[in-house]
């Protein structure tokens, strides 16, 4: 049997996604900038996808810009806003447990003369609001906060955060990395006070190599990519029609019967947590008393006395696929900054795995994974050096 439980890294595309992508590759392969019918046919896929996405967010279609990934969306938001508003100030605020595509981009901006304040979080991964508000200064131009943490599944109250920061400094621009949140939650930027929102397609059963950035019409962003002026000059280059069409199909499907899909995910998450908590010296991180207050698909579990990488590969040999943290950092292994930020004890930092679910995950996969962990733990602990 196989249990793929690494859906926070990537998901398997829906059948509807694969079908529409094949159609754009086989039949409707025109360049959307071309004036003939093949071009207009390709352009229709862009318009249709933009309409689906805008409707899911309750925003205007002109506020959606397609990118190559969530990473590009984050880079465009941070660098584009920082450069555009530099005369107003050069101070940016974020948290101390963001994704690498935020953290490393902020590092780049620091090397260019910007100052970044990193706000701490509590043991459940929630931003400390007093520290956040205290960090706001006259020259603060941008605040960027992840809605759902990709390693532990903690969820920020984005609407409350936006309300608080804008009461203190109305002109501050608020960016939200929603790469693990979109598709799991109904997100309405206008209502929640979000100025920019980053999303990635392959986290919601869409294709890899496609994402989008929502930019409120009142916010200015300097483009990172220059050329032929596609997407109103925000991102030049021929649009990825197959990817965009696939993204539109994924958004449409993930938000169909959405409540039922999320109820299914929470039931699976509770099943996995219950199974893990029965095992000796196993700790589920950052869940708290109410599972529904965390993201429905991410579970962080620490296994005392076993290195994460050893357990990961032992599970892989039995057809169980999980991760030891963010997939984007897997080529540069280091102890998780997220786990450090929430106060996980040092002895468990290198003994923690992430299990992540999708709407196609089954109870059988959960039970199989728990059974394999239960069998492997005592064996692997026998060989652990003390």
Contacts of 160 (CB under 8 A, 6+ apart): none
Averaged pLDDT of the chain: 94
CB 296 within 8 A of CB 356: no
pLDDT at 38 over 90: no
**Helix or strand (DSSP H, E) at 175:** strand 173-177
User: Beta-carbon neighbour count of residue 124 at 10 Å?
Assistant: 17
Summarize pLDDT for 166-199 with one digit per residue, the tens.
Answer: 999 999 999 999 999 999 999 999 999 999 999 9
* Last residue in a domain, options 254, 286, 305: 254
pLDDT tens digits, 228-265 = 999 988 899 989 999 999 999 999 999 999 999 999 99
pLDDT value at position 332?
Answer: 42
Are both 214 and 66 inside the same structural domain? yes
CATH of the domain at 307: 3.90.1150.10
218 and 330 co-located in one domain: no
What's the predicted TM-score (pTM) here?
A: 0.94
3-state secondary structure of 348: helix
Say if CB 46 and CB 244 are below 8 A apart: yes
C-alpha distances in Å from residue 55, one per residue of 49, 77, 168, 185? 10, 21, 31, 14
> Are the C-beta atoms of 149 and 338 separated by less than 8 Å?
yes
The arithmetic mean of pLDDT across residues 314-322, rounded, is: 97
Q: Are 295 and 349 members of one domain?
A: yes
Q: Say if residue 287 is in the same domain as residue 183.
A: no
**Statement: residue 22 has pLDDT above 90:** yes
Could you identify the residue written with the tokens 């589920």? 284
Residues with Cβ within 8 Å of 50's Cβ and at least 6 positions away in sequence, in order, are 61, 64, 66, 248
How many Å apart are CA 155 and CA 46, to the nearest integer? 31
pLDDT given at position 386: 46
Tell which of 202, 222, 254 closes a domain.
254
Which two tokens mark 119? 């706000």
pLDDT at 287: 86
Confidence of residue 20 (pLDDT cuts 50, 70, 90): very high
Mean pLDDT check: name the lowest of 149-158, 212-221, 280-289, 308-317.
280-289
Model confidence over 344-376: pLDDT tens digits?
888 889 899 999 999 999 999 999 999 999 999
What span, in angstroms and rounded, lies between the C-alpha atoms of 178 and 272? Answer: 24
pLDDT single digits (tens) 281-302: 999 998 888 899 999 999 999 9
Based on its alpha-carbon atoms, the radius of gyration of the chain, rounded to whole angstroms, reads: 21
**Lowest mean per-residue pLDDT among 38-42, 49-53, 197-201, 250-254:** 38-42
Contact between 96 and 121 under an 8 Å Cβ cutoff? The reply is yes
Q: How confident is the model at residue 31 (pLDDT cuts 50, 70, 90)?
A: confident
Tally the domains of the chain. 2
Of the two residues 74 and 342, the one the predictor is more confident about is 74
Distance CA 271, CA 252 (A): 28
59 or 30, higher pLDDT: 59
24 and 142 together in one domain? yes
Beta bridge partners of 320: 3
- Which structural domain range is residue 208 located in? 15-254
Q: What is the pLDDT of residue 335?
A: 61
DSSP letter, residue 185: B
Domain boundary residue among 201, 231, 254?
254
Residue 84 appears among annotated catalytic residues: no
- The token duo for 146 is 């992840």
Lowest mean pLDDT among 69-73, 137-141, 230-234, 270-274: 230-234
Q: Active site residue: 224, 267, 328, 374, which one?
A: 328
pLDDT for position 45: 94
Q: Are 215 and 310 in a shared domain?
A: no
CA gap 253, 272 in Å, rounded: 25
Q: What pLDDT, in 10s, does the model give residues 79-99?
A: 999 999 999 999 999 999 899
Mean pLDDT over residues 106-110, rounded?
A: 97
189 and 293 part of one domain: no
For residues 140 and 169, membership in a common domain is answered with yes
pLDDT value at 317 more than 70: yes
């Amino acid at each position: 049997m196989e249990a793929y439980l690494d859906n926070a890294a990537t998901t398997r595309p829906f059948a509807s996604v694969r079908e529409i992508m094949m159609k754009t590759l086989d039949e409707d392969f025109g360049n959307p900038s071309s004036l003939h019918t093949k071009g207009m046919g390709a352009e229709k896929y862009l318009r249709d996808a933009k309409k689906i996405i805008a409707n899911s967010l309750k925003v205007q279609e002109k506020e959606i810009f397609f990118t190559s990934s969530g990473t590009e969306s984050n880079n465009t938001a941070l660098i584009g806003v920082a450069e555009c508003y530099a005369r107003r100030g050069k101070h940016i605020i974020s948290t101390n447990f963001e994704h690498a595509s935020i953290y490393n981009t902020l590092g780049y901006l620091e090397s260019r003369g910007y100052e970044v304040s990193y706000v701490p979080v509590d043991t459940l991964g929630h931003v400390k609001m007093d520290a956040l508000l205290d960090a706001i200064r006259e020259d603060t131009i941008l605040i960027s906060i992840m809605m759902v943490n990709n390693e532990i599944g903690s969820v920020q109250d984005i609407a409350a955060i936006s309300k608080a920061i804008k009461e203190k400094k109305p002109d501050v621009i608020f960016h939200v990395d929603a790469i693990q949140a979109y598709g799991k939650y109904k997100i309405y930027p206008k209502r929640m006070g979000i100025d920019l929102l980053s999303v990635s397609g392959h986290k919601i059963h869409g294709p890899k190599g496609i994402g989008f950035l929502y930019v409120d019409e009142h916010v200015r962003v300097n483009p990172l990519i220059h050329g032929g002026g596609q997407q109103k000059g925000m991102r030049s280059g021929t649009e990825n029609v197959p990817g965009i069409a696939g993204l539109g199909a994924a958004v449409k499907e993930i938000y169909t019967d959405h409540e039922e899909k999320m109820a299914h995910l929470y039931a699976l998450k509770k099943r996995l947590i219950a199974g893990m908590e029965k095992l000796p010296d196993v700790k589920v991180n950052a869940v708290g008393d109410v599972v529904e207050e965390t993201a429905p698909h991410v579970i962080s579990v620490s296994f005392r006395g076993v290195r994460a990488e050893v357990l990961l590969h032992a599970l892989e040999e039995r057809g169980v696929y999980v991760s030891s943290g963010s997939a984007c950092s897997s080529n540069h292994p280091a102890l998780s900054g997220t786990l450090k930020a929430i106060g996980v004890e040092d002895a468990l930092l290198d003994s923690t795995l992430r299990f992540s679910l999708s709407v196609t995950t089954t109870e059988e996969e959960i039970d199989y994974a728990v059974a394999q962990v239960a069998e492997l733990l005592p064996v692997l602990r026998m060989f652990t050096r003390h």
